[in-house]
Chain A
Amino acid sequence: MNQVACRVPLVDGAAKATGALRFTADLLADPANAGLLHGALIFSPHPHARVLQVETAAALALPGVHAVYWHGNTPANRYNSSIWFAGQQAPADEQMFAATARHIGDRVALVLAETEALARAAAALVVVCYAAMPATLTPEAALAEGAMPAALKTFSHGDTDAAFAGAAVVIEASVSTPRSHHCAIEPHVCLARPEPGGRVLILSPCQSVFAVQAVVACALGLPPERIRVAKTPIGGSFGGKAEPILDPLCAYAALALQRPVLICLNRHETFTATRTRAAMQGRMRVALAADGRILARDTEVLVDVGAYVTGGNYLPGSMLQRLVRLYDVGAERYRGRAVTTNTLPTGAFRGYGSPQIHALAEIALDRAAQQLGMDPLAIRLRNIVAPGAVDPWQGLDLGNARGRDCLVRGAAAFDWPARWRADPGQGRWRRGVGLACATHINGCYPGFEEETTATLRLRSDGRVELICALHDLGCGAETTMAQIAAQMLGLEARAIVIVPTDTDTCPYDLGTRASRLTYICGEAVRRAGAALALAICRTAGLEMNTASDSLRLAAGQVAAAAGGGAALSLADLAARTAARGASLPSATETYRAGANPSSYAAHFAAVEVDTLTGVVRVTDYLAAHDLGRAINPMLVEGQIHGGIQIGLGYALLEDVAIDPASGRVGGASFAHYTLANAPEMPPIRVLLVEEGEPTGPFGAKAVGEIATVPVAPALVNAVNHALATGLGNLPLTPERVLAALQDPPWLARAAG
């Protein structure tokens, strides 16, 4: 192998590092976008209010202002921004401009003008008349009002009641996880321009061009073929750009005005008017045998999906799906509810329910271990699923499930047993260690159309072109796919030319979601690579007057597999083939998934807690991951490091902090929404368990989402170990940590 399992640098790395790569907002000076208009949005200041009238005259009187759109002068087609394909059933409760604003930051109007400054100045002149309505600002209030949940998922497996009745120990844990924001460096942005034939081209840093097409078609009431979507390079998403928010408005304005239109949110707008991870309140009861076996679990979760359902109707089911893939549990009862409130909508964010449900289950499991007097490592080893296990909900084979290997090898490398037994200390700083396991899916099988199509074609210059609707979110998916194709064709990754993703030129794909890219698209590319290798050998056999099955591809050449003899470079082969007037070798493969194995991880953390201030410092970290095989270990490590950064913030720092009284977002800037920056990050060791997944390309399965999933429970468990506390409300801010500790002696004395 000379491409797969190698630390191949990003195929677009140099262009990014030198600034040559053009992001969406960089396209405004492109000649194709001459006459570009800029959009500025007007957002509701009320959590719930009818939009009675929008006074636009003063704004339109400014020279250079072209239009002000609101619900009174635009189509009111209802849609759901989370759909992936035309006709997907989902509650359609959104429209381009709210007739009834459902949260602070809801879109009310859009001003189009010659410059962004002018558009924003004009937006300040628009007067919106609202009729304020009572607002529901918390999930408890939503339940109390008796509204139907947006989603309800229940599941029962085995005899839960009997298991609880016969248990040696029963514990209960309550865990809450906050809303969190993606904090992509590139704010939300979209550019659209009219094309001939009444079509519109949308240039969008998105996670699926076909999802954008489907949503915009619904919103505009146009047939999908009138809407062309091309993916632009993306400056970070993490799920935040999975749902098209600006695209319908941008496309509408471009069509209506017949001018290119750019809408680019500023940082505050990205914080207050896009999507967040849904907050969860969870309660879990666990029944255990004296030897640590989990006999049964009874789980209840409530998620607040915000003002619009978007994909929230899937969230309780997604949480259940991830919950039941980690441990072999005899009996399971689950009830997950999602409710809507008059708060910022929620959506996809790295793990989609997985970080929340694993926080609940893994913090609860540490409590169980404590009750039993067991090492948290031992209780996990007692219960973790084995290779070939079948999940009790969907009945799917979990594949070569190597969670146990992650635990065993990770614990040894971390020196877990000794560190777990070490004294936390009695002074100002207390030390503790924690661990947590996680699992995550690989793709959408058995739901939806879990398939993709890849075409590889020899070019006249000897390089190979890849056509597949890839959506690289910045983590190196294009590099990974180029490595797989190159490996099959005896080329280097840089010899693979990736055709930009465009609804006009690429076959349908679900997009980057559900940790499916390497596992699903990678397998399609691998199969297309195998087929193209055969086609090239057939063509070369004719040129070289040799049996094609005696040839092989290596180092950019076709040569005899046995060695010796003549070799023909792919460039020469392409030139000769073209000279004969024959078409160049090409192969197209459609891969339809037949499995959905699990990826596994075990994370180990050491923390030091300042008992005077409540500040938690993460001092050491080890992440062990079962990913089948790393196509690119360097990119895998990058994904894991980034996952730990997000998870550390989730555990300790980050909170969108919606005020339950006003509905206002508290964490609406980088000054008020605290991310972990470099000095907060611990030294990180990554340990890869590469035992191969038979259904994955070269044995590979996913790592992107799971990397962030076990981080928060590992850190919470470490803090609870250091302090002998039972903290479970994330993030563990200094306030929450101190509130769990007794007053220090000088205060106790002062109070007495």
Chain B
Amino acid sequence: MSAGLAIAAPRDLAALRALMAEGPLVFLAGGTDALVSGRNLPVAGRLVDLSRVAGLAFIDSAGADIRIGAATTVAALAADPGLSARLPALAQAAALCGAVQIRNRATLGGNIANAAPAADLTPVLLAAQARLALTLPGGARAEVALDGFTPLPGTLITEVILPGTALLPHSAFAKLGPRRELTIARLNLAALAEYDQGRFGAVRLVAGALGPRPRRLPRAEVALAGQVLDAVTLRGYLAALSAEVEAAIPGRASLAWKRRAIAGPGLEVIAGIAGLAPRDALFDTAFGVSFGAVPA
């Protein structure tokens, strides 16, 4: 470690903001990406450990808006009953993030700031039209939409706000990686929806690992919105999901697989929203006819 690097571990927000007024900082929360890869660590300047700042880790789901401190761990998101009741997709995504040890250290703000294309929490946050409370270099505060937000050095995410007006009654998250657990998403999908008595109302769908940023899937939303959940709707929805993948990653080597594979998480989020088992017979009816091996 270079002698040029100073480390600070402020104990409260006031001390943190005082540090921010003094000059440029590099923030480290759980460190689950930066410390493992090593390459993101600065060799000079001031590194601030966010994990001990009081008041930066909380989940407040009692008000109209859900407010979550940016240093809240992924494990805490997965375990919070209030959050699970109002936005189950976020708790589900958190439970599928990394390994137990990673979830115990990794934070909500870190998942946003790290901005990995395959991040698991971000698609849910985008589908929920999340807003971010920021403290800018120098100490000024701002609130911005997550959609379009680009993390900048020295800018601190302090809070994630999930506006109550944007939450929908049902939500679900599904993920497809090289293996079931401790895996980086090759595709993930978040859905928020109105669903009542077998019919969809408004639907928001966001997919991750389809290009550099998570991506809203408007064609697939249209295929569901206002429709009855039946085999015809599902086939239209699955075709729309494939069209979304084709639009997102034209020419990519993974296209041939992802345009088909997205049907898997696609049906799983529908099951979550409709309160059905992923193996409910309804989903097999979407096949229409059985398909099998490519003829030799």
Contacts and interface: CB of A to CB of B under 8 A. Distances in A.
Interface string A603-639: 0000000111111000000000000000000000000
A612 B264 contact: yes
Contact of B293 (A676, A741, A744): A741
Given A744-B238, A747-B260, A749-B239, A674 B179 contact: yes
Given A612-B263, A747-B239, A735 B179 contact: no
A185 interface: no
Interface in B256-296: 256-257, 259-261, 263-264, 267, 279, 283-284, 286-294, 296
B292 A746 contact: no
A738 B256 CA distance: 9
A429 B264 CA distance: 11
A726 B296 contact: yes
Contacts of B243: 750
Contacts of B178: 653, 674
B184 to A, nearest CB: 6
Interface in B177-216: 178-184
A723 B294 CA distance: 10
B238 A735 contact: no
B261 A738 contact: yes
Contact of B179 (A653, A742, A744): A653
Interface in A290-340: none
B235 interface: yes
Given A735-B257, A744-B238, A428 B284 contact: yes
Contact of B239 (A613, A614, A746): A746
A743 B1 CA distance: 54
B294 A735 contact: no
Contacts of B239: 746-747, 749-750
A735 B257 CA distance: 5
Contacts of A739: 256-257, 294
Nearest to A121: B2
Contacts of B111: none
A427 B263 CA distance: 14
B136 interface: no
A682 to B, nearest CB: 12
A671 B181 contact: no
| Interface size range of chain A in the complex | 35 or more
A662 interface: no
A545 interface: no
Contacts of A741: 291-294
B244 to A, nearest CB: 12
Contacts of B292: 723-724, 741-742
Given A742-B293, A746-B242, A735 B263 contact: no
B211 to A, nearest CB: 18
A18 interface: no
A726 B294 CA distance: 10
A426 interface: yes
A741 B256 CA distance: 12
A725 interface: yes
B291 A677 contact: no
A740 interface: yes
A612 B261 contact: yes
Given A677-B179, A744-B238, A750-B239, A428 B293 contact: no
Contact of B264 (A426, A615, A735): A615
Nearest to B278: A428
Contacts of A117: 1
A679 B178 CA distance: 12
A745 B184 contact: no
A613 B264 contact: yes
Contact of A743 (B176, B260, B290, B296): B260
Interface string A673-685: 0101101100000
A264 to B, nearest CB: 16
Interface of A: 117, 426-429, 610-615, 653, 671, 674, 676-677, 679-680, 723-726, 734-735, 738-750
9 contacts: A428-B284, A614-B261, A677-B181, A680-B180, A725-B294, A742-B292, A744-B291, A746-B242, A750-B239
Q: What 7 A-B pairs are tightest by C-beta distance, nearest first?
A: A613-B264, A427-B284, A674-B178, A426-B290, A612-B264, A735-B257, A746-B239
